[in-house]
Amino acid sequence: MVGGIKKIYLINFEPLTLTEASGEVTDIQNAANDADVDAVVYEVRHASSLTTNINSSRETGTTFFESTLELTFKKLSQEDNAELAIMAHGRPHIVVVDNNDNRMIVGHEYGCEVTGGTLVTGNAMGDLSGYTLTFTAQERTLPKFMEAQTEAAFEGILGTVTEGTNS
């Protein structure tokens, strides 16, 4: 087992129907359950992470899970500016693929919101010249695991998968 994230799939926010078996998601459809959902995929290897905190209150009797997805995109361009601005204004569902090939849906019920980020040129030659984005999701359950399958099989349950400009 190793840490880190390989890639993410951003799915436009809409109510989803998740088909589950044995506690894992086996299919993703729109809420009407009549169409696959489209996604944009980004390679985010190295310097990206997912952390989920459990928040419980004895006083109110509530528990929720807050996931924070820290992403680093490793180049700057006008195309990236436009694409990242769309992300910042949206509320996508995000499928995270970690370095152990686990797939988890973050923001499966309420979506993920951008809560911070930077455009950075760095100081020295070896510094990051790119973007950082922080997505936050608050859900009633932990991120849901997807059924273990190959990348091609996973992408087969989606509609159109488009590669992002900063992959």
Rounded CA-CA distance 91/108 in Å is 11
129-159, pLDDT tens digit by residue? 999 999 999 999 999 998 877 788 778 778 7
- CB-count burial class (<10 Å; 0-12, 13-18, 19+) for 23: exposed
Q: How far is CA 56 from the centre of its chain?
A: 24
Which of 6-15, 48-57, 114-123 shows the lowest mean pLDDT across its residues?
Answer: 6-15
The pLDDT of residue 19? 80
Domain ranges of the chain: 5-163
The pLDDT of residue 167? 61
Residue with the bigger pLDDT between 96 and 37: it is 96
Its pTM stands at 0.88
Closest residue by Cα to residue 47 from 124, 145, 131? 131
Alpha helices in 15-150 (DSSP H): 78-89
Are the C-beta atoms of 134 and 118 separated by less than 8 Å? no
